[in-house]
Structure 1
Amino acid sequence: MMKLTPLFRAVEKVPKIGRFFAGVRKLREANQICSHFSTYLGPMIAVTQEQKEQVFRIRHNVYCEELSFEDIRENGMETDEFDEFSQYCLIHHSASDRFAGTVRLVTPTNEGELLPIEKYCLDSITNQELNPSNFDRNEVCEISRLAVPHEFRRRQMDQFAGAATGAINTKTYSENELRCFPFIAVGLYFSAAALAMQQGIKHAYVMMEPRLARSMRFIGIKFEQIGPVVDYHGRRAPYYINQKLLLKNLTPGFAIMLKHIQKSIDEMDIHADNDENTYGREAN
């Protein structure tokens, strides 16, 4: 076999060097995504009564006052029957000390406690293998009521039916923050996912607009559509996801961001407030 001269050996290594630097660049970009998020934003779980009221006020602002999906409430807090067995995630904006968004994780534990998708959109689920009724109550959850306050969004059109995408008002916040704020909705979904995984919940459902599901695919979050688009607070379809589907295609940067959010939530005491939540009954 012919021996390679030093020159040929050097040329032979060039592709490896190129791949190495490409890998370094991807890793740097991946770390930047998490860095941009953690610099300006942080996940929180609403455990105190005051924090839960903040959640309900944000929801009222978005769902009742802005989008008119629900009736105006005299107390300025949007709640329903599912809040009796739900948990709440918030994204905190450090510079303003305000909440940039919230999402609810409906977590039934007893027979008879239905997910919203089961009560209002069960007929839209055509993939019967993934029907939530196939699984134990403590193995299923639904991600719902994602809401981002108006001041953290760019335009009225930057919304999906029932909530908001997370784009921000460019006149209100700094240019550096613009690279982070489009991730608000992603951060909320990751917070809900981290909370579900922490509690061993295996199957998650969400009713969402198909264009939001498509946008999530760009970063590797591939929800599985389990039924056709229906008219439910706009054009929405039922989607399913589990831990394997979430982690399978996640891009490196957002995988790091998810790990950061998981670590933050794992360090929280989510049982800090044991007061009974009465808001669900109040709304009925």
Structure 2
Amino acid sequence: MSNLKREIIHLPGINYLIRKVVSFKASREANEIAHHFDQYLKPLIAHETALRDEVHKIRHNVYCEELAFEPPKPDGKEQDDFDPYSIFCVIEHKASQHYAGCVRVVTPQASEQLLPLEKYCKGAITDPHLNPANFPRNKICEISRLAVPAEFRRRNADKFAGAETGAVNEDTYSETELRCFPFIAIGLYLSAASIVINQDIEHCFVMMEPRLARSMRFVGIKFKQIGPTVEYHGQRAPYYINPILFLRNLSPGFKLLHMNLEKGLAQAMKH
């Protein structure tokens, strides 16, 4: 290496400038994603019975028919004992008015109201400090039943990879719209985070595939694993996050997407 190259590499601030360029590019791409997401997709809170029915139909399509995690229901709606004390969010594709995905936040209030992981994965949490039992019921929640319909995913093979992938159907939607669809799952998690913050909930739990947790770190959603991977509709592990960790680590570019979603949901939460 020449002396000139060595001097350039060791110039004060050169690494900082490189990081700034990389950061600017990532931020610009995230801002574009936020813009296109807002242009084509809209988050909604499912207050009305009709919209809640749509959530149950999406879940039935994904969890019962496609992935066979649950047996099919005669009415075509996937429901369980946690739904009565849950808040449901759906993302609507504006042009078609089809629903691109859904998620729920289970919000227990009474001592007998459990989180899904407490009922089905009891013992999976090995962290003695971050256990739902340590906190008041009204300060904990679980993000669960995230589902993205096959209409918004790319290939037949993707349908069996899990409902959280957020892949897309390239033959149905415009090239511009495709730019935001891979982030539907991220948008659902950001929407769930907005609900958690709005409801003043302090501790959030989720059972998810470790690979999904790793992909969430890409945007700065850094779930803390609090137990080993177990068999629960595939290999999943318990994770924890709280609003402070969420807001502290969220990548700057994706904060705009979160802010847009939060604005849309804040008004909906009042109804």
Q: What TM-score do you get using the length of structure 2 for normalisation? A: 0.89
Aligned residue type for 2:209 = E
TM-superposed deviation, 1:253: 1.6
Kept in 2, the 8 Å contact 1:160–1:212? The answer is no
1:215/1:23 CA distance change after superposition, 3 Å: closer
Q: Please say if 1:51 is aligned against 2:51.
A: yes
Q: Counterpart of 2:90 in 1: which secondary structure?
A: strand
TM-superposed deviation, 1:209: 0.5
Kept in 2, the 8 Å contact 1:46–1:87? The answer is yes
TM-superposed deviation, 1:154: 0.9
Larger radius of gyration: 1
Instruction: Deviation per CA, 1:160-183: give whole Å up to 9, x if none.
Output: 765231111111111111110001
Gapped regions of structure 2 (runs ≥ 5): 1-11
TM-superposed deviation, 1:28: 3.7
Kept in 2, the 8 Å contact 1:33–1:253? The answer is no
Q: Please say if 1:193 is aligned against 2:190.
A: no
Please give the alpha-carbon distance, in whole angstroms, between the structure 1 residues aligned to 2:106 and 2:267.
21
1:177/1:74 CA distance change after superposition, 3 Å: same
TM-superposed deviation, 1:191: 0.8
Alignment-derived partner of residue 80 in structure 2: 80
Q: Counterpart of 1:158 in 2: which secondary structure?
A: helix
1:33/1:75 CA distance change after superposition, 3 Å: same
Instruction: Deviation per CA, 1:230-274: give whole Å up to 9, x if none.
Output: 000000000001112212222122111111111111122x364xx
Kept in 1, the 8 Å contact 2:213–2:223? The answer is yes
Alignment-derived partner of residue 8 in structure 1: none
Please give the alpha-carbon distance, in whole angstroms, between the structure 2 residues aligned to 1:128 and 1:22.
39
Kept in 2, the 8 Å contact 1:108–1:137? The answer is yes
TM-superposed deviation, 1:109: 0.6
1:97/1:237 CA distance change after superposition, 3 Å: same
Q: Counterpart of 2:123 in 1: which secondary structure?
A: helix
Alignment-derived partner of residue 222 in structure 2: 222
Alignment-derived partner of residue 29 in structure 1: 29
Instruction: Deviation per CA, 1:17-56: give whole Å up to 9, x if none.
Output: 9998877656543421210110111111001000000000
Please give the alpha-carbon distance, in whole angstroms, between the structure 2 residues aligned to 1:213 and 1:251.
15
Alignment-derived partner of residue 7 in structure 2: none
Alignment-derived partner of residue 181 in structure 1: 181
Please give the alpha-carbon distance, in whole angstroms, between the structure 1 residues aligned to 2:226 and 2:144.
17
Please give the alpha-carbon distance, in whole angstroms, between the structure 1 residues aligned to 2:243 and 2:164.
24
Q: How does 1:1-284 map to 2 (within 5 A)?
A: 28-158=28-158, 163-268=163-268, 270=269, 272=271
Q: What TM-score do you get using the length of structure 1 for normalisation? A: 0.85
Aligned residue type for 1:64 = C
Kept in 2, the 8 Å contact 1:162–1:233? The answer is no
Query: What is the Cα-based RMSD across aligned positions, in Å?
Result: 2.4
Please give the alpha-carbon distance, in whole angstroms, between the structure 1 residues aligned to 2:17 and 2:69.
55
Kept in 1, the 8 Å contact 2:66–2:159? The answer is no
Aligned sequence identity (%) = 56
